[in-house]
A and B are shown apart, each in its own frame.
Chain A
Amino acid sequence: MQTNSLELGFVFFLLELTQLGFLLLFSRIRLLRTTPIMAWLKSSVFALLVFLLLFAGIFDPSQTLWIFLFWLGQIPLLFMWWSTLQWGSSVTMLRVLGCSDFPIDLHKWKQMTSFADKAQDLKDNRLDLLIALKLVRIRNETYEVTALGRFLNSVVKCLRGQK
């Protein structure tokens, strides 16, 4: 069966809906409830399997490949949305402030988000990661950015539009 762009667009929409449906199942049903990352991984795989089972017979092989490409393309986009929803720091700051019935000052807000007391742990954790990735090294008890780190930093600055 030949499909046109509109039908393929509809397939994409259905694929997204299927994955969102699985995400709902893994988030809301007590027996299936799992961690956010596992919920996302399982929902991605199940959505693809369901689609291949339902549509592989209807579409010709090339179009089955197109469904796979749709799936491959939507993975990072949906993950960015899901990770912001689950772990986004600005979103968490917003939620914390939203819990307060009256306006609060910056210091109180910061304490409520744990930016104050756990910040050092997080910073140390990230510095360890930078060292493990060979982007930073310790020399004479101070941190030094390696050549690789400098290169990556230049790329990032270019992408961010920083001088």
Chain B
Amino acid sequence: MIDFLCAFILGLILYVLIRNRTKIGFISCHAIEGVIGAIVLGVMTGDLSRFQGSVLIYFVLWSWWVFLSSVLEHSLTLRILNSLKEIQLFKTYDMSDEFILRVEKLVRSGIIVRDESRNLYSVKKTSCFYRFDLFMKWLFRIENNSLY
């Protein structure tokens, strides 16, 4: 039953390679890693009953790995650590950089529209993501959180 472990390690190596060598995003990298790992596992195990058990354990490992890498990748605390390392000892992370970083990501994703001439920002209210978020906000009665 170490086949799931081999598939997981293979997926992990694949993830690091894709992330370092291409511009593919975080979610897509994990999706590719997960699917290829599961296919490799299927080829390694061969019979279906063994494959079911192995793929479940693989799924548990993979999902916790996605969670851990998400923390490592998106944590503000670790970004502050990175800036301390980069700028050596004297400066700390400027939160304006954090804000600008997020604005650029939102603009790139097409949810936010930037008026280049006046430098003004607005939400593209017809975008699927915005509508989905409004629905989720209503569904789970989420209140606006002023600090992030």
CB pair A105 B120 closer than 8 Å: yes
CB pair A130 B80 closer than 8 Å: yes
Interchain residue pairs with CB less than 8 A apart (7)? A72-B60, A76-B64, A87-B145, A103-B122, A123-B93, A139-B89, A158-B20
**Shortest beta-carbon distance from A21 to chain B in Å:** 12
- Interface check A64, CB cutoff 8 A: no
Q: Which of B80, B137, B148 is packed against the most chain A CB atoms within 10 Å?
A: B148
Q: Which of B62-99 contact A (CB under 8 A)?
A: 62-64, 66-67, 69-70, 72-73, 76-78, 80-82, 84-85, 89-90, 92-93, 95-96, 98-99
**Shortest beta-carbon distance from A79 to chain B in Å:** 7
The answer for the CA separation of A109 and B115 in the assembled complex, in Å, is 14
Q: Which of A36, A144, A150, A160 is packed against the most chain B CB atoms within 10 Å?
A: A160
CB pair B85 A150 closer than 8 Å: yes
- Interface check A77, CB cutoff 8 A: yes
**Shortest beta-carbon distance from A155 to chain B in Å:** 7
- A-side interface residues toward B, CB under 8 Å? 5, 8, 23-24, 27-28, 33, 36, 62, 66, 69-70, 72-77, 79-80, 85-100, 102-106, 109-110, 113-115, 118-120, 122-123, 126-127, 129-130, 135-136, 139, 142-145, 149-150, 152-153, 155-161
Q: Which of B16, B53, B70, B99 is packed against the most chain A CB atoms within 10 Å?
A: B99
The answer for the CA separation of A159 and B53 in the assembled complex, in Å, is 29
Q: Which of A79, A95, A99 is packed against the most chain B CB atoms within 10 Å?
A: A95
CB pair A89 B148 closer than 8 Å: yes
CB contacts (< 8 Å) of B84 on chain A: these are 130, 136, 143-145, 149
CB contacts (< 8 Å) of B63 on chain A: these are 73-77
SS class of chain B's interface: helix, strand, loop or mixed? Answer: helix
**Shortest beta-carbon distance from B24 to chain A in Å:** 9
The answer for the CA separation of A31 and B133 in the assembled complex, in Å, is 25
CB-CB nearest in chain B for A98: B123
Given contacts A94-B111, A103-B115, contact A130 B81 (CB under 8 A): yes
CB pair A27 B141 closer than 8 Å: yes
CB contacts (< 8 Å) of A120 on chain B: these are 95
CB contacts (< 8 Å) of B121 on chain A: these are 97, 103-106, 109
**Shortest beta-carbon distance from A64 to chain B in Å:** 12
CB pair A97 B59 closer than 8 Å: no
CB-CB nearest in chain B for A101: B122
**Shortest beta-carbon distance from A162 to chain B in Å:** 8
- Interface check B1, CB cutoff 8 A: no
Task: Please name 8 further chain A to chain B contacts, defined as beta carbons within 8 Å, in addition to the given A122-B148, A130-B81, sorted by A numbering.
Answer: A86-B145, A88-B148, A95-B137, A103-B113, A105-B121, A119-B96, A142-B90, A149-B85
**Shortest beta-carbon distance from B58 to chain A in Å:** 9
CB pair B56 A69 closer than 8 Å: yes
The answer for the CA separation of A25 and B80 in the assembled complex, in Å, is 37
CB-CB nearest in chain B for A77: B63
